Structures are given as C-alpha cells and as structure tokens.
Structure 1
Amino acid sequence: MGKDRERGQISAFDFAVVRQAFQQSVWEQGIAEGRWPDHAKRLFQQLTDEGADDDMIGHIIAR
C-alpha cells in the first residue's frame, strides 16, 4: 500500500481495500464475530505496516 502518507494514516482507498479484505477473509475463513477485532488488527498490520487504533478497528469491522 502507499507509503506517501504520514505515519499512522492511510488513504481512503487503502482503508477500503483493508475493509474489503477483512470482510472477505471473515467470510472465507468462517471467523467467529468475537475474534473479528483481533483479526482486523492483524490484517491491518499485514497490509499497511501500521498499527490501528480501536476507532479504526471499529470502522473496519462495522457491518
């Protein structure tokens, strides 16, 4: 993902990619809803090389 951002920020496009990847991986892997926050944090880290705060995770896992 793009590295032309300030530390701790991602573009709206990158966020949409992370959210779509999260939704698809939850569906494909059958991840229980109780494990979604941890899964979202790991996925976000893997895709962006950044950490995500709780608000960001909340937006990723929102229905």
Structure 2
Amino acid sequence: MPKPISSSPFQVMEEEAYHAFREWHLFLVLRQKELETHLVSGSVPDKSPEEKPEFVPQEAQ
C-alpha cells in the first residue's frame, strides 16, 4: 500500500520526530555497545611521544 501523501510539511516533520522519539532508546543502546567495543579494543594505549625514548644516532666507527 503506498504511503499517504501528507498535506503539510509540518505533518511530515511531526511524524519523523515521533519516530525519532520512539527509536531514541534503541540508538543509545547500540551506541553504548559500539563505544564499549571501541574502548575494549583500545584499552592498551600506545606510548605517548613523551614516553618514547629519543632517537640517539650511533657514532660511526
């Protein structure tokens, strides 16, 4: 069945806002899982440039 054509752009905006409100908690749960996997995979941080030893060239022999 085709989607009814709304007579007002405000009616379209209201419908989109309603669906966004209804789906907001699902978005938050999915985003939280995404952030947790990102944080777990990055739990071993690389050394910062301050912690890395400076390059000291060896003297030519």
Scaled to the shorter chain, the TM-score interval is 0.3 to 0.5
Q: Which has the higher contact order (CA 8 A, sep 6+)?
A: 1
Structure richer in helix, relative to its length: 1
- What is the TM-score normalised by the length of structure 1? 0.32
- What is the TM-score normalised by the length of structure 2? 0.33
Instruction: Point out the structure with max Rg over C-alpha.
Output: 2
